[in-house]
Amino acid sequence: ASVLTGSARFVGSHPMAGSDKSSLAYAKASLFDGRACIITPEETTDADAVNSLTAFWEALGMRVSTMTPDAHDALVARISHLPHLLSSALCSQLALLESDDLHLSGAGLRDTTRIAAGDPGLWNAIFSQNKEQLIAAVEEYENSLSQIKNAINANDTEAVMRILSVAKELRLALDRTE
């Protein structure tokens, strides 16, 4: 039996890398290359432990950011959990269509729904663990969806163009972060 020497020091961290695929068949040595990792120390977390964990993730090729656990939960609810929820909700809605019609879809639908292929048990647990922040993110999204719906309904092409332009710029900015 092995014996731990020293004391254990917990430091929360969240590598923002992964795939909708699971199992060793989909393992990639480059999984962490250039990807973000969020470290979430508490006020009482040992600074040496934070530095060691930062060095660990950076040695794997990750870009490390540090924030409080609460800030992490709010952020990932919006940049990870909400997109998965939206993709899954869209797929649930599309499941009501005649399956023969889905072959007519293009790459846009596949791109938009790819993450819905993730493990339902894992995502159910994630949604449950970050419920309050996810609900807040959904409410923010409902507001955004209502804005564009109302603009389309009112034939307010200027408002629709503003929303689409902001969306395009954000999406292009995401490409520049890769």
Sheet containing 63-66, strands listed edge to edge, beginning at the edge strand earlier in sequence: 12-15, 36-40, 63-66
Q: How far is CA 51 from the centre of its chain?
A: 25
Residue 50, token pair as written in the block: 């934070």
Burial class (CB in 10 A: 0-12, 13-18, 19+), 77: buried
The 10s digit of each residue's pLDDT in 59-110 is: 999 999 999 999 999 999 999 999 999 999 999 999 998 778 888 899 999 9
* Contact between residue 110 and residue 78 where contact means Cβ atoms under 8 Å apart: no
Burial class (CB in 10 A: 0-12, 13-18, 19+), 81: buried
The 10s digit of each residue's pLDDT in 129-162 is: 999 999 999 999 999 999 999 999 999 999 999 9
Classified as helix, coil or strand, 58 is helix
**pTM given for the model:** 0.86
